[in-house]
């Protein structure tokens, strides 16, 4: 059985941005992890965050390149945030007023819970606060 991970924005950005503080360590992690051919799950909201990040920095070509790689990868399942998931994420967001979770975080947590995914590829410690494991755990 293949390992299943949730793929978060911060991990992808650290992989893609060479001068990102955690780039080298995340890249080393990815090279090792990719050998096991894991199944990766992410959402349309994560996709939006990534392409918006690059495009807002006048890197439209990079936004398109990364976006197309995510869309064409047979190893990545892109979960569309439909009305039901959106409403569940919004409820989660409202419930945790003591946290600084983004709505995208909350939607990610809902998708992870529904799919039984316990580990996120992320640098965002909100996933730990929400009861998930993060990988690589040695970062931050």
List, for residues 62-100, the tens digit of each pLDDT value.
999 999 999 999 999 999 999 999 999 999 999 999 999
59: CB partners within 8 A, 6+ apart: none
Three-state secondary-structure class, residue 133: strand
In order of 53, 88, 111, 124, 137, the CA distances from 93 in angstroms are: 22, 9, 14, 16, 25
- The domain ranges of the chain are 4-135
Residues of the chain with pLDDT under 70: 1, 138-140
Show the DSSP H helices in the chain as ranges: 9-16, 23-34, 44-55, 60-72, 83-95, 103-115, 126-129
- Return d(Cα 124, Cα 126) in angstroms, integer: 5
34: its two tokens = 């990719």
- Return d(Cα 106, Cα 81) in angstroms, integer: 12
Quick check: 86 and 107 in contact, CB under 8 A? yes
pLDDT of residue 140: 45
Fold of 4-135: Rossmann fold (3.40.50)
- Return d(Cα 133, Cα 55) in angstroms, integer: 30
pLDDT of residue 138: 59
pLDDT of residue 1: 60
> Looking at the whole model, is its pTM more than 0.85?
yes
């Amino acid at each position: 059985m293949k390992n299943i991970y949730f793929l978060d924005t911060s991990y992808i950005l650290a992989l893609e941005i060479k001068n990102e503080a955690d780039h080298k360590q995340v890249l080393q992690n990815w090279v090792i992890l990719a050998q096991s051919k894991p199944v990766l799950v992410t959402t349309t909201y994560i996709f939006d965050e990534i392409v918006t990040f690059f495009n807002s920095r006048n890197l439209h070509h990079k936004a398109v390149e990364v976006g197309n790689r995510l869309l064409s990868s047979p190893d990545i399942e892109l979960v569309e945030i439909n009305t039901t998931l959106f409403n569940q994420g919004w409820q989660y967001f409202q419930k945790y007023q003591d946290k600084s979770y983004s709505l995208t975080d909350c939607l990610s947590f809902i998708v992870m819970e529904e799919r039984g995914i316990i580990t996120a590829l992320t640098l965002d410690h909100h996933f730990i606060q929400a009861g998930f494991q993060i990988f690589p755990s040695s970062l931050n």
